[in-house]
A and B are shown apart, each in its own frame.
Chain A
Amino acid sequence: MNASVEWLSAFVESGLSPRALRDLITERAATVDAIEPVRIDLANIVVGRVVAAVRHPDSDHLWLTRVDAGGADPVDVVCGASNVTVGTAYPFAPVGTTMPNGITIERRKIRGQVSNGMLCSARELGLGDEHEGILPITTDAASGTPLLDALPIGDTRLVVDVLPNRPDLLSHIGIAREIAAATGRPLREPSIPTSGENRAIADVPAPAGVETTGTTDGVRVTVDDATDCPAYLGVVVRGVRVGASPPWLVARLAAVGVRSISNVVDVTNYMLHGYGQPMHAFDLARLGGSGAAVHVRRAAAGERLTTLDGVDRTLDPSMVVIADATRAQGVAGVIGGQGTEVSGETTDLFLEIASFDPRRVRATRRTLGISTDASFRFERLVPPTSPADSYATVVRLLAAVAGGRVVAPPVLVSASGPRSGARARLVLRSKRVAQVLGVPVPASESARLLATIGFTVTARGDDLDVAAPTWRTDIAAEIDLVEEVARLRGYATFPNELRPYRLGTVPDDPLVSRAARLRELLVGRGFVEVRPMPFVPHSNSDGTSVRVTNPLADTESYLRFDLLSSLARRAEFNLTRMEGDLRLFEVGTAFRARSDRPGRPVEDVRVAALCMGARRPPHFTDPSPPAWDEWDAKALAEAVAAVARPGSSIALQPVGTDGELWRIRADDVDVGRVIRVVLDAPPWAAPAYGVEVVLEETDVADVAPPGHHASATAAAAPTRDPVPQYRRPPSFPAVRVDLTLLVPAAVTSGSVEGVLRQANEPILEGIDLLSQFYGDNVPAGHRSVTWRLTFRHPERTLREKEVEARRDKLLRALETDLAVRQRTS
C-alpha cells in the first residue's frame, strides 16, 4: 500500500513529519518499509544563489551569472531569464543533472561563454506552468542544499506493508484513523475542490435497498447469489464530461503511483486508494442504455470476455461476472471489460460499488492469473457495508470533477440489508488481558484505547462489551481485542522482565545430539557440510519416489530417495569449478512412497558422505598424496555407522556389483551402503566413493486426532542413545604373534578371521590383518596374508609355551576348516 503523506493530512492534520509518521504507523499498525519523495526526479536540484550578474557581451537577453551552489567557488552560469536578481536564491541544476523532461544538463558554451548548469523555472521542474522567468525561492537553507530538503516540494510516499488481517489499512482513511487515534487529532472528510463549470452538490439521493433485484434510473440490477456478492450498489450518473482530471486529483494518484487516465476513471481510483472501496464505471450506452439489465451471475462455461488489459479470456462457472442482457461485461472484483469501457464519448455512467466474496475473487484472479488493485482488496474483504458508506462521496466527486448528476435513487441489492456487515458483540475480560499480556491493564484503559479507533465499548464491571467498527473485519474473538489493546498501548510499554518459568516435559530428540556427533566426526575428518535442495528430476528404479504435484521445474519433479544423489550433484558442481579434492557430507531427509499408505510418504533422516581426490593436502615430503580408495570408504563407513547407529553391532557386507561395494548392517538390519559414486566428471577427476547410513525413520503418524491431546496414550519418551561402558585397561602385558598364512584364492580374509574367532580363545584379544602378498614365493592360486594375533590374560603374564599352544591350535583349525597353512618359506 502506497500512502501519500499529503493525502493522509487531508484526512487528519497530524503535523507529523514523514519519518514521525513512519515510526507511528510501524509501531501501531503496519510496517512502513520505505519513505520515498514523490518528486525523486528533483533529487539533484540544489539551492543556488546568484552572487553576480552581467549582460552577455554577444546577446541582448542573456545574462552571465555567478552562482553559489555550495561549492568552494561560485560557478559561471549563462541565464536567459529576465528576472535574474543578484542575491536571490533559485533552483539550480548542476552539470550532470537529469531534468524531469529527461534532458541531462551538460557543461556547454552559449555564444562563446561557458555555462556550468542551469537556473530553473517552475515549468522546467514540473512545479507549475510558469516559464516566463526562473523561480525565485525564499529559504534560509545554505546554498547547495538539495531543493527537496529546503522547500516543501512535492509529496512523500510511505510504502506500507499491510498484512492480510488488516484490509482496512489498504486505504488512506484507514491509515488516517490510526494516526488520528494516536495523535488525538480529529479525522475529517477531505474537501473536494471544484473546477471549471462543475458544481459541488450537497445532497445525493439515498439508495433504495432491495433483496435480489431492483431498478435505478431505468437500469435493472439483479444479483443471483448473495454469497458471491453480499452487496451491490448500482447508480446511474448522467451528463458527465469525460476529460482530463484536475491537477489536485492527478497529484493524489501520482503520489501513490497511479497514472491519470480520465477524470471518471481517476475518481474510481481515488475512491479505491482513499477509502478502500474499488468501483467500476461502465459506459451506460455500451451497456444497453436506459433499460439496460445488469446481472451479477456465474459465468457460463466457455464464456469469453476481452478484459480492459486487451486479453481475450475464457471464463468458467466458478467465476462471477457482471453481465448485460446478453453477455459478460466484467469479471466481478477483478477486472472490467473492454466493451463497456468509459471513453471520450461517454455521457452517462453506470457506476458499480460492490462487495464480493473474498474467496471467489481470490480463486478467480488465481485462475485468470491477474491481480489488480481491486482484486487485492476484495480478496482481503471489502465489508458489505462499504458500498453504501462510500457512495455519497463518489457521487460528489464525480459532480465536482466531471459534472455528472444522479437523477434517481441508486439501487442497493443486498440480501441481508445495508447493515449486513454489522459486527458481533464481544466481551473483553480484564482478567484475560492480564493473563495474555502479563501486566494488568485497567478496563478503563482498554475501553479508552479501543474507542480511539472506532470500537463501541460498554463497561460491565471489569469486563467490556465491545462492538468492532464495520471496517474491522478481522475482529472476531476476544483474543483479537487483546491484541488491539496491546498494540494501541504500544508493545514497547511491556517490560522486558525475565520471569520464573517451569521446566518443560519434552525430552530432547536423540537425533539432535546424534547428528551433532556425526558432524563432529566428519568435520574432524575434513568433510564439508552441504545443504542441497532435495529435489531430483527422475523417479528411482523401483518406482517408490515421491512425486511433487506442482513442481516449479521439471528438474524438481520428485523428492530424492537418497542423499548420495544430492551429494553427487554437488560434487559435479565443484568439479566444474576445477575443485577435484572433495569431501562433502550432509545430514538430511530422504523420502519414498509406501503403497499401503499413499497419503503419507515414508521419510528417514540419513547421513551421507562423499569423498574423492587427494587423501590429504600435498606436502613437500609427499607432493602427490594418494587418492581416496575403497578402503578409506570402508573405514569411513564403519566409523560413521558406529555413530549413526549407536549401540548396534556394525558389519559391512560385501556386494561388489553395480558400483555398490558394501551394504552396511546394524544388528543384522540393512541400514546403508558404500558405493562408487557415478559422476558426470571430467577425465582428470579421481574416483568418488560414497557412504550413506539411515539414522532413523521419522515418525509421521498423527499424534492424536484433531483437537485432541495424546496424554492418555502417550508413547514412552524417546530413550537416550546408548553410551559405551567402562572397561578397566589390562594390567598384564600382551603377547603378539604374527602369522603369515598361505590363503587359497577362494578363501576370504573374512572367513579366516571367522575361524579364528570361532575358536573362542578367551585369551585371544585381537586379530589384525597386517599385509598381503602375491609373488614368487607364493604358490599359484594362493596369496600370502599376515595377521597379528594379540594374546593377553587378564590376571597374569602369559607364558611363552601356552601362547605357542594356542597358536598351534588355531593353525590346526585353519588347516582343517579352510586348508589355510602357515607359510614356511
Chain B
Amino acid sequence: MPESIPSLSQFLDELSAIEREAAPEIAAARSADALEAVRVRYVGRKSGRLSPLSGMVARMSATDRPAAGQAFNAAHTRVQEQLAAHAARIQAAATSSAPAVDLTMPGRAVWRGARHPVTIVIDEIADIFRELGFTIALGPEAESEWYNFTALNFPPDHPALDMHDTLYLDGGALLRTHTSPVQIRTLQRYPPPVRVLVPGNVYRRDVFDASHAPMFAQIEGLAVDEGVSFVDLKATLTHFARRFFGSATTRFRPSFFPFTEPSAEMDVECQICRGSGCATCKMVGWVEILGCGMVHPSVLESAGLDAERYTGWAFGMGPGRVAQQRYNIPILRELYDGDVRVLGALGQ
C-alpha cells in the first residue's frame, strides 16, 4: 500500500485525539505498574501510540514539517509531564496509609482570652458617653472622710450613711463607698465646663450574697456648667438608655441622695416582659438602672464653685448589676470568683 503524504490538519487532529485519550488513562492508574503500562501504550518507543506519528512527521511536506514537529514535541512533552506528576502522586500515596488530607479534622487553636464582663459593660457605657463629649477621670480608692462624705453633703451620723456601710483603714482613711469623691476632685481641679465619666472600684462593708459584694465596680457621670438643667439630665440619660438597651422606654421617679437635688432613679422598661410585669422585674414592668440628680449646691460649694452661677447633673450606676442582668448571672459572686469557665465564656 503506497504511503500517502498526510495533511497537517489530519495529523494535528490525530495528535490531539491521542493526547485526550491519554489524560484519563494516566489519572486512572492506581499503581506504578499500571502507570508504566499506560506509558508504554502511549509513548513507548516501539509500540506507543505516539510513535507512528513521529514517523509521519518525517514524511510530511517541507512546509508542514516544522509545525507538525513542534506540535508533536509539545504533545509528547505534556504526556510525559502528566506521567511524571501522576507517578509522584502514586509514590506519595504509597508512603502514607491515610487518605491524603482529612479536611474534617480540627484546626490548630490558640487560647482565647476574655475581658471581664464588668469591663465590657464599662467600655460600652464609656463609648456612648464619649460620643456626648465626656472624658474619663479616675481617682484614689482609699479616700478621706471629707472627699467621700462631707464634701458630698452627707450629714454626720445620718441614716443616709446606712446605705454606705464603710470600711475604715488604720490611720483614718476609708475605702471609698462610691465613685463620687472623684466629682469633688475633678470640680476642684478643673474649671467648668466639666463633662466626665468616672469608672472605678468602690467598697461597702457588705457580706457577699446574691446581689452584694464588699467591693464592686461603679461608673458615674458628671456634667457641670452654666445653664445645665434637669432637662439635660433626663435627655442625656434617656439617650444613653436607648443606645445601651435598644429601644428602651425610661421612667424617672423621685429618690434621695445627699449630693443631688432633685434626685431621681431611672428605670428602663423591663426587656423581658416589655412592661407587663414578670419575675425579672418583680412584676413592676420596670428595671432600675441608675440613680441621678442635679448636683446639690453644697457639693459645688465644697469644690469652691459658685453654686448660683453653675449647675450640674450626675448619675451613678453599677456595671456589675448590669452585667448580672445582661448575662443572666444568678449570683453576683460569679463575677468575682474568677472561674475561667464562666469568665472565658462571657468575655468573648
CA A522 to CA B111, docked complex, whole Å: 11
With an 8 A cutoff between CB atoms, is A547 at the interface?
Answer: yes
Which of A499, A522, A552 meets B231, CB within 8 Å? A499
CA A532 to CA B334, docked complex, whole Å: 11
Contact across chains for B191 and A505 when beta carbons are under 8 A apart:
yes
Which of A362, A525, A532 meets B157, CB within 8 Å? A362
With an 8 A cutoff between CB atoms, is A359 at the interface?
Answer: yes
Q: In whole Å, how far is B107's beta carbon from the nearest beta carbon of chain A?
A: 8
CA A509 to CA B146, docked complex, whole Å: 23
Contact across chains for B230 and A498 when beta carbons are under 8 A apart:
no
Which residues in chain B, 203-257, are within 8 Å of chain A measured between CB atoms?
Answer: 205-207, 213-215, 217, 223, 225, 227-232, 234-236, 238-239, 250-256
Given contacts A29-B254, A359-B157, contact A528 B229 (CB under 8 A): no
Which of B150, B214, B217, B228 meets A535, CB within 8 Å? B214
B282 contacts which chain A residues (CB < 8 A)?
33-34
Encode contact with B along A771-795: 1 for CB under 8 Å, 0 otherwise: 0000000000000000000000000
Contact across chains for B142 and A574 when beta carbons are under 8 A apart:
no
CA A549 to CA B215, docked complex, whole Å: 16
CA A511 to CA B137, docked complex, whole Å: 9
A547 contacts which chain B residues (CB < 8 A)?
169-170
Chain A residue with Cβ nearest B185: A703
Which residues in chain A, 620-658, are within 8 Å of chain B measured between CB atoms?
Answer: 620-622
Contact across chains for A362 and B159 when beta carbons are under 8 A apart:
yes
CA A526 to CA B184, docked complex, whole Å: 39
Chain B residue with Cβ nearest A704: B188
CA A482 to CA B150, docked complex, whole Å: 23
Stretch of A75-83, A309-317, A599-607, A674-682 contacting B (4+ beta carbons < 8 Å):
A599-607
Contact across chains for B135 and A552 when beta carbons are under 8 A apart:
no
Contact across chains for B115 and A519 when beta carbons are under 8 A apart:
yes
With an 8 A cutoff between CB atoms, is A165 at the interface?
Answer: yes
Contact across chains for B140 and A164 when beta carbons are under 8 A apart:
no
Chain A residue with Cβ nearest B203: A534
Contact across chains for A703 and B189 when beta carbons are under 8 A apart:
yes
CA A617 to CA B109, docked complex, whole Å: 6
Which residues in chain A, 473-494, are within 8 Å of chain B measured between CB atoms?
Answer: 477, 479-480, 482-483, 486-487, 491-492, 494
Contact across chains for B137 and A506 when beta carbons are under 8 A apart:
yes
Contact across chains for B114 and A486 when beta carbons are under 8 A apart:
no
Which of B118, B191, B234 meets A711, CB within 8 Å? B191
With an 8 A cutoff between CB atoms, is B101 at the interface?
Answer: no
CA A552 to CA B336, docked complex, whole Å: 17
With an 8 A cutoff between CB atoms, is A15 at the interface?
Answer: no
Chain B residue with Cβ nearest A505: B190
Chain B residue with Cβ nearest A497: B235
Which residues in chain B, 299-348, are within 8 Å of chain A measured between CB atoms?
Answer: 301-305, 311, 335-341, 343-344, 347
Contact across chains for A504 and B134 when beta carbons are under 8 A apart:
yes
Chain A residue with Cβ nearest B159: A164
With an 8 A cutoff between CB atoms, is A123 at the interface?
Answer: no
B338 contacts which chain A residues (CB < 8 A)?
528, 530-532, 570, 573-574, 584
Which among B171, B191, B196 has the highest number of chain A CB atoms within 10 Å?
Answer: B171
Contact across chains for B230 and A437 when beta carbons are under 8 A apart:
yes
Contact across chains for A523 and B229 when beta carbons are under 8 A apart:
no
Contact across chains for A549 and B169 when beta carbons are under 8 A apart:
yes
With an 8 A cutoff between CB atoms, is A363 at the interface?
Answer: yes
B179 contacts which chain A residues (CB < 8 A)?
none
Contact across chains for A577 and B169 when beta carbons are under 8 A apart:
no
Which residues in chain B, 99-147, are within 8 Å of chain A measured between CB atoms?
Answer: 105-106, 108-116, 118-119, 123, 132-142, 144, 146-147
Contact across chains for B142 and A591 when beta carbons are under 8 A apart:
yes
Stretch of B52-60, B82-90, B260-268 contacting A (4+ beta carbons < 8 Å):
B260-268
Given contacts A491-B253, A506-B135, A549-B169, contact A498 B239 (CB under 8 A): yes
With an 8 A cutoff between CB atoms, is B193 at the interface?
Answer: yes
CA A527 to CA B116, docked complex, whole Å: 10
Which of A524, A574, A591 meets B113, CB within 8 Å? A524
Q: In whole Å, how far is A466's beta carbon from the nearest beta carbon of chain B?
A: 16
B134 contacts which chain A residues (CB < 8 A)?
504
Q: In whole Å, how far is B193's beta carbon from the nearest beta carbon of chain A?
A: 4
With an 8 A cutoff between CB atoms, is B3 at the interface?
Answer: no
CA A550 to CA B141, docked complex, whole Å: 17
The main secondary structure of chain A at its interface with chain B is loop
CA A377 to CA B42, docked complex, whole Å: 109
Contact across chains for A164 and B158 when beta carbons are under 8 A apart:
yes
With an 8 A cutoff between CB atoms, is B69 at the interface?
Answer: no
Which among B118, B236, B253 has the highest number of chain A CB atoms within 10 Å?
Answer: B253
Interface band, chain A: 35 or more
Q: In whole Å, how far is B232's beta carbon from the nearest beta carbon of chain A?
A: 6
CA A579 to CA B341, docked complex, whole Å: 8
Chain A residue with Cβ nearest B346: A528
Contact across chains for B186 and A531 when beta carbons are under 8 A apart:
no
CA A362 to CA B347, docked complex, whole Å: 45
Give the number of residue pairs across the A-B interface with Cβ within 8 Å: 319
With an 8 A cutoff between CB atoms, is B278 at the interface?
Answer: no
CA A311 to CA B343, docked complex, whole Å: 48
With an 8 A cutoff between CB atoms, is A501 at the interface?
Answer: yes
Contact across chains for A163 and B157 when beta carbons are under 8 A apart:
no
CA A546 to CA B262, docked complex, whole Å: 38
Stretch of B10-18, B28-36, B160-168 contacting A (4+ beta carbons < 8 Å):
B160-168
B140 contacts which chain A residues (CB < 8 A)?
603, 698-700
Contact across chains for B297 and A479 when beta carbons are under 8 A apart:
yes
Chain A residue with Cβ nearest B225: A502
CA A535 to CA B167, docked complex, whole Å: 11
Which of B138, B151, B251 meets A512, CB within 8 Å? B138
Which of B137, B144, B168 meets A550, CB within 8 Å? B168
Contact across chains for A482 and B142 when beta carbons are under 8 A apart:
no
B118 contacts which chain A residues (CB < 8 A)?
531
Which of A551, A584, A706 meets B302, CB within 8 Å? A706
Chain A residue with Cβ nearest B174: A549
Contact across chains for B344 and A528 when beta carbons are under 8 A apart:
yes
Chain A residue with Cβ nearest B204: A552
B157 contacts which chain A residues (CB < 8 A)?
359, 362-363
With an 8 A cutoff between CB atoms, is B75 at the interface?
Answer: no
A35 contacts which chain B residues (CB < 8 A)?
283
Which residues in chain A, 658-716, are within 8 Å of chain B measured between CB atoms?
Answer: 698-700, 702-704, 706-711, 714-715
CA A726 to CA B347, docked complex, whole Å: 34
Given contacts A496-B234, A506-B194, A548-B169, contact A616 B304 (CB under 8 A): no
Contact across chains for B305 and A709 when beta carbons are under 8 A apart:
yes
With an 8 A cutoff between CB atoms, is B178 at the interface?
Answer: no
With an 8 A cutoff between CB atoms, is A182 at the interface?
Answer: no
Contact across chains for A546 and B113 when beta carbons are under 8 A apart:
no
B230 contacts which chain A residues (CB < 8 A)?
436-438, 486, 494
CA A195 to CA B257, docked complex, whole Å: 46
Contact across chains for A498 and B138 when beta carbons are under 8 A apart:
no
A715 contacts which chain B residues (CB < 8 A)?
189
Contact across chains for A479 and B296 when beta carbons are under 8 A apart:
yes
Which among B118, B207, B304 has the highest number of chain A CB atoms within 10 Å?
Answer: B304
B39 contacts which chain A residues (CB < 8 A)?
none
Chain A residue with Cβ nearest B242: A496
With an 8 A cutoff between CB atoms, is B192 at the interface?
Answer: yes
CA A505 to CA B150, docked complex, whole Å: 25
B341 contacts which chain A residues (CB < 8 A)?
577, 579
Contact across chains for A435 and B110 when beta carbons are under 8 A apart:
no
Which of A497, A559, A584 meets B169, CB within 8 Å? A559
Chain A residue with Cβ nearest B294: A436
Q: A479-B297, A503-B133, A526-B113 are in contact. List 4 more A-B contacts (CB 8 A).
A: A26-B253, A505-B194, A549-B169, A619-B106
10 residue pairs, one from A and one from B, having the closest CB atoms: A438-B229, A526-B111, A438-B231, A709-B304, A570-B338, A523-B113, A504-B195, A530-B338, A163-B256, A483-B262
Q: List 5 A-B contacts (CB under 8 A).
A: A163-B255, A482-B261, A533-B336, A547-B170, A559-B142
B interface residue numbers (CB < 8 A to A) = 105-106, 108-116, 118-119, 123, 132-142, 144, 146-147, 150-151, 156-160, 162, 167-173, 175, 184-196, 201, 205-207, 213-215, 217, 223, 225, 227-232, 234-236, 238-239, 250-256, 261-265, 282-284, 294, 296-297, 301-305, 311, 335-341, 343-344, 347
